[in-house]
Structure 1
């Protein structure tokens, strides 16, 4: 935050011998402070002969207040002609080594957790990698359950067809009517079985 001015030549000349501020009868303390401030070169300047000097805002306010009290015809903005606001360089404090070490440890931990999360569903090819046998067992059980479900579906539809065909001989005398009735009943049973299978598969996918 700025708190000083880089005094220009106008202010330096006004405070010097025979300058405009000499007849303003500045208080001894204020003049001494201004002369001391203008006698110090700007520490951030690369050129050691740089005539710019640092003057705090407090001294500028005191000078302005004095000129107002004397009803002086010398205005502050005229004195500050060529002056600039001085912004000191912000020096960043050194980081705590312990804090840096903790942050690095946390970054590594988060990276490992993210890696584990990404590779959680990747099948491990190493026989020594944990979880391989269990994953293989799950896959075998899934295939076995699918084969049993398909086999039951075929048996159920075929049994419905045969039962309807044999039972319809007491109702229909023609072969075509018996076959048609058996096909209708088998289709209804097959659709019902498919509905149950789809609902069961949706439940299993939701648990994954």
Structure 2
């Protein structure tokens, strides 16, 4: 946290011999502290201008208070022209090797848990997709079996009708009697086929 100013040339000259602060009759202690602060140079490795003079905020507040009490025409902001707030470089403490190792271990554990969670979701999705494909296959097979059964029913009834009609020609001479006999036989065969179909469908539904 900032606690001092980098004194500019204006403040240094004002405090020097013949400077603007000479006529303000600064208290001896305040002048001594300001001269000590401005006379002490601090080395800043990151500064291209080399050593710098640091003046604490407390001294600046004391100087401002003195100027106000004297109703001076010299204002503090004029003295601070060219000055800057000094922000010291923050030195990071060395990291604890044990703490670093523990953090790395925790990161690895979290990564493994995340990987397991992702792969578990993928496995569930795959199994769900496999189940959907299996259900679709069952439905296709059921429809196919139903179509074949209906086709067999139609062929069987038609064959029974044709065979009975052709065979009844040797028994009946009238076409109406032949057709009636063929219809009766075809109906009986159709009912028998329907019974077999219903029993088969009940068995399939029971398995589902």
- Give the TM-score, by structure 2 length: 0.58
The aligned counterpart of 1:94 is 94
Q: Distance in 1 between matches of 2:118 and 2:44?
A: 52
The aligned counterpart of 1:125 is none
The aligned counterpart of 2:147 is 157
Q: Distance in 2 between matches of 1:147 and 1:76?
A: 90
The aligned counterpart of 1:7 is 7
C-alpha RMSD of matched pairs (Å): 4.1
Q: Distance in 2 between matches of 1:110 and 1:45?
A: 42
Give unpaired runs (5+ residues) of structure 1. 123-134, 183-188, 194-199, 201-208
Give unpaired runs (5+ residues) of structure 2. 162-178, 191-196, 202-207
Residue of 151, 157, 166 corresponding to 1:166: 157
- Give the TM-score, by structure 1 length: 0.58
Q: Distance in 2 between matches of 1:24 and 1:147?
A: 102
Query: CA 1:146–1:52 in 2, change beyond 3 Å: closer, same or farther?
Result: closer
The aligned counterpart of 2:68 is 68
Aligned ranges for residues 52-201 of structure 1 at < 5 Å? Answer: 52-117=52-117, 152-163=142-153, 166=157
**Deviation readout 1:170-204 (Å, 9 max, x if unpaired):** xx9799xx9xxx9xxxxxx9xxx9xxxxxx9xxxx
- Asked whether the equivalents of residues 30 and 59 of structure 1 are also in contact (C-alpha less than 8 Å), the reply is yes
Q: Distance in 1 between matches of 2:145 and 2:42?
A: 99
Work out which of the two has the higher radius of gyration on C-alpha atoms and give 1 or 2: 2
Aligned length: 159
Q: Distance in 1 between matches of 2:136 and 2:50?
A: 89
In structure 2, the residue corresponding to 1:54 is in which secondary structure?
Answer: strand
Q: Distance in 2 between matches of 1:71 and 1:147?
A: 100
In structure 1, the residue corresponding to 2:41 is in which secondary structure?
Answer: coil
The aligned counterpart of 2:171 is none
- Asked whether the equivalents of residues 43 and 51 of structure 2 are also in contact (C-alpha less than 8 Å), the reply is no
**Deviation readout 1:126-173 (Å, 9 max, x if unpaired):** xxxxxxxxx9xxx8xx87x8877655544333334444663996xx97
